[in-house]
Amino acid sequence: MKETIKKSIKEYSALIVALILFFAAPYVLRLIDPTTAAFDPGILHTIFIVVVAYAIYQAITWSITKNLWSEIGLFIKQDFNTAFRALDNKTKVLISLGLYFIILLMLVLLTIAVL
């Protein structure tokens, strides 16, 4: 039981931190700019909103992967590192850059959606 709670907190820690950051954002932003509103459409608040949106996207994606395709979730948790190390260098670079640009694209799309 205790291990399950610990595991859930670890999996959703980014979401928890993002929500805390979201609710603390007005106070933090007022330290930087005293004229800012609680939820200001300015650039400073947009950064906080994008971080929260990314954490929510990550949590939802992992939940769907883990619950709907449990075999893929188990593979990612248990065997992915071994399989990745067995690849040749060119394939590792292609996978790493592909993943990087997919994450970057998602962040850009989230930013556009927030604006």
Residues 20-77 have pLDDT tens digits of 877 887 787 788 777 776 666 666 677 777 777 777 777 777 777 777 777 776 777 7
Show the tokens assigned to 19: 């929500």
Q: What sign for the dihedral angle of Cα 25, 23, 114, 73?
A: positive
Higher pLDDT, 32 or 1: 32
With 80 as the cut, is the pLDDT of residue 95 above it?
yes
With 70 as the cut, is the pLDDT of residue 13 above it?
yes
pTM metric for this prediction: 0.55
pLDDT of residue 62: 74
pLDDT of residue 98: 83
